[in-house]
Amino acid sequence: MGLLSADQAASYLHLNVKRVQALARAGKLPGRRVGRKWLFDERDLDAARGRGARAEVGGLDLSARNQLHGRVLGLAVDGLMAEVRIGIGDQELVAIITRTSAERLRLKVGESVFAVVKSTEVMIAKGTAPS
């Protein structure tokens, strides 16, 4: 696709155009200023989106430390919601997200994803582990 305008980059990243411009000004999103306009290379945006080994959102590292790498085992989309089953080691994690988020992320069974856990509570249980 080549170079994208700020509007096109915002649409591509599913962000507000003002946010894209602010990230570019701060050096957190790869882009170049030409006159009064911002231009973005699609390949640079793909790299900033975290298509590599780290979980990133819009070119920004997440503050959450609990980033669990896994594979999508199942995806059930119904109405406004989507159930995403992720295999992490020998465990399975289920996340309920909006249909829009699942479509924006273009989730597919078998692909590599990160589950990001951010919470103010952690519960501990003691007992025998299920077989």
Mean pLDDT of 109-131: 73
Percent of the chain at pLDDT > 70 equals: 77
Give the domain ranges of the chain.
3-61, 66-117
Closest of 74, 71, 107 to residue 89, by C-alpha: 71
CB-side neighbour CA atoms (13 Å) of 84: 26
State which amino acid sits at residue 16: N
Q: Which of 7-16, 70-79, 87-96, 110-119 has the lowest mean pLDDT?
A: 110-119
* pTM exceeding 0.75: no
Mean residue pLDDT across the chain = 81
pLDDT at site 1: 52
pLDDT value, residue 124 = 55
66-117 classified as CATH 2.40.50.100: yes
pLDDT at 58: 46
- Domain 3-61: which topology? Multidrug-efflux Transporter Regulator; Chain: A; Domain 2 (1.10.1660)
Residue 90 bridge partners (DSSP)? none
Place of tokens 């989507």: 82
Higher pLDDT, 110 or 42: 110
d(CA 63, CA 97) in angstroms, rounded, equals 20
CA distance 22 to 6: 11
pLDDT at 59: 46
- Residue 57 scores a pLDDT above 70: no
Tokens of 81: 């919601």
